[in-house]
Amino acid sequence: MEKVLDEYLEKMEKYLKPIPVSERVDIINEIKSEMQELQCNGVPAETIIERLGNPKDLAKAYLGDLLSKESRFRWNRFLTVCAFYSLVGFSGMFVIPCLGIIAPAFIVLGIGAPVLGAVKMIDYIFNLNIPYMENIGISLGEMVTFNPVTEFIISLIVGVLICLAGRIAWKLLVLYCRKISKTAGRLSYEERE
């Protein structure tokens, strides 16, 4: 091939440095193939170079996507990632431990209350004289005494309500974690792009 054409390809290769070697070689080979094709058709080297334009511009056209894509969102991405992790860090510090304690504790209490209520009621009905039964009761600041059957019904209702609250807390916790991992996943996906 003529010297001017080789020089053209050398220059192009230099400007294509940001592209991995294997791809770069392929790009150069393709342009070279077109040069040879044109030469076969009897087109003089000068006309070929004129047709292809400045080697720097041709190389830049390949880099175009690469450069604009990266520089455009690198800074934005940095801020997004920072904002995301600080938000998660701060909110997670409160949200996860609070919900994490509330959920199981409420469920255990919700089950526990009616069970104890039932024990007291059974004790009362069958006169079993189980010890410490006087410690079980409805407390609103101080012990309020009702008929143990009424107490059992109240404890059952309160227990169900507390259980429901525990379940809601648990669902919120799961939702929160899912949302975070989803967003984190999306962020790292964008990074790979």
Partner 1 sequence: MNIEEWKSQIKRGTLEFCILLLIRQQSSYGYEIISILDKYPIIAAKENTIYPLLRRLLKEEYISSSWQEGTEGLPPRKYYSITDKGQEYIGAMSAEWENLLDAIKEIKGE
Q: Which is nearer to partner 1, 28 or 122 (CB)?
A: 28
**Shortest distance, position 72 Cβ to partner 1, whole Å:** 17
**Shortest distance, position 189 Cβ to partner 1, whole Å:** 16
**Shortest distance, position 59 Cβ to partner 1, whole Å:** 9
Q: Which is nearer to partner 1, 7 or 34 (CB)?
A: 34
Q: Which is nearer to partner 1, 36 or 150 (CB)?
A: 36
Amino acid at residue number 149: V
Contacts of 12 (CB under 8 A, 6+ apart): 27, 28, 31, 55, 58, 59
**193: DSSP letter:** -
Q: Which is nearer to partner 1, 7 or 37 (CB)?
A: 37
Q: How many angstroms separate the CA atoms of 112 and 118, rounded?
A: 10
**Shortest distance, position 46 Cβ to partner 1, whole Å:** 16
Sites of contact with partner 1 (CB under 8 A): 26-27, 29-34, 36-38, 40, 51-53, 57-58, 61-62, 64-65
